[in-house]
Structure 1
Amino acid sequence: MKKTKANNNTIALNKKARHEYHLLDKFEAGIQLQGWEVKSIRAGKCNLTDAYVYVKDGEAFVTNINIQPLNQASSHVICDPIRTRKLLLHQREIDHLVGGLDRQGLTIIATAMYWKASWVKIELWLAKGKQSHDKRDAIKDRDWARQKERMMKHA
């Protein structure tokens, strides 16, 4: 009999992204981290809320990921919690992202950070910003779905 291991690989989520943007194309990228950052991530000291991605000179970078240093790890290293970190993507994926940025006026949003084996991965989406009326429609649809569930449960 196989033993199932109940673990959650999610490190951090950007819940605000689904409310603020229409998510179109999904990508998975590795991230270049320093040793103290990996230790802090394992301790759960990571925030992805304001993170965004940009492409410069054919390379993708993510900024505004807040990784707070641990006291033990930061005694001998100068730590910058919100430094710009390089993303590890294939060239054709970078070209696809650049095409979405330039031709379609989209943006690249980091929505989740998670473990994949022993590697830290980031879930990226090509996204289009929502207008305020789109946000209201989404809230209205979500409320209606909730009410339908309640009615079905009591019926």
Structure 2
Amino acid sequence: MADKKSKKKNKSQNNTIATNRQATHEYFIEERFEAGLVLEGWEVKSLREGRAQLKESYVQIKRGEAWLYGTHISPLLSASTHVNPDSIRGRKLLLHRQELNKLIGSVERKGYTLIPLSMYWKNGRAKVEIGLAKGKKLHDKRTASKDRDWQREKERLMKHA
């Protein structure tokens, strides 16, 4: 009996559905928030198969609510015939009122941008990590890539020493 429980605990699962790798290249991430998603049944099944892309997605605040646009969740081939799946529809994000107020203030007054960073499972529910971000200029991107290259070179030198 104890063997079965230990197997379940030791079984490691990758909870990440999709990540937005371009986000850290294009933006300075100031603060991160976790938000729930309002999904339809076919979308949950597609997410369990890992069929989501955050590459061109963004978060917009309308009428005091946060919405996720541009996220592509491709429907499964076995989707129901009476449901018309819209793969890029807007999806409502679930946030606490204090978090929403903070985001609204930052976006409208301070000129920040809201971008989705990753989508993952937490306790059986789909969550999105959104970042409060400022855009990088070209020279910022160049210095970031130089720093990254230098870190890589340092690791190589330390490994051989």
TM-score between both structures, scaled by the size of structure 2: 0.93
Aligned equivalents of 2:46, 2:108: Cα separation in 1: 35
Q: How does 1:122-133 map to 2 (within 5 A)?
A: 122-133=128-139
Q: Where does residue 63 of structure 1 map in the other structure?
A: 69
The structure-2 alpha-carbon separation of the partners of 1:68 and 1:154, relative to structure 1 and needing over 3 Å to count, comes to: same
Q: How far does the alpha carbon of each residue in 1:120-145 deviate from its partner, in whole angstroms, 9 at most, with x for none?
A: 00000100000000000000000000
Is 2:11 the counterpart of 1:5? Answer: yes
Q: Which of residues 107, 121, 128 in structure 1 aligns to 2:127?
A: 121
CA distance in 2, matches of 1:74, 1:149: 51
Aligned partner (choices 109, 113, 125) of residue 115 of structure 2: 109
> In structure 1, what is the Cα distance between the partners aligned to 2:11 and 2:125?
18
- Aligned residue in 1 for 2:41: 35
SS at match of 1:41: helix
Q: Describe the SS at the equivalent of 2:133.
A: strand
Structure holding more helix per residue: 2
Shift of 1:17: 0.2
1:135 to 131, 138, 141: 141
- Unaligned runs of 5+ residues in structure 2 are none
- Which secondary structure state, in structure 2, belongs to the residue aligned with residue 16 of structure 1? helix
Deviations 1:35-70 (A, max 9, x none): 000011111111111110011111100000000011
Q: Residue 92 of structure 2 aligns with which residue?
A: 86
Give how far 1:74 is off: 4.2
After TM superposition, where is structure 1 displaced by more than 3 Å over at least 4 residues in a row? none
Q: In the TM superposition, what whole-angstrom CA distance separates every residue of 1:79-112 from its partner, at most 9, and x where no partner exists?
A: 1100000000011101111111012101001000
For 1:95, the equivalent position in structure 2 comes to 101
Match of 2:155 among 146, 149, 152: 149
Letter of the aligned partner of 2:79 in structure 1?
A
Give the C-alpha shift of residue 72 in structure 1: 1.1
Q: Give the TM-score, by structure 1 length.
A: 0.97
How far the C-alpha of 1:75 sits from its partner, in A, is 2.3
CA RMSD of aligned residues (A): 1.0
Give the number of aligned pairs. 155
State the distance in 2 between where 1:98 and 1:35 align: 30
Q: Which runs of 5+ in 1 are unaligned?
A: none
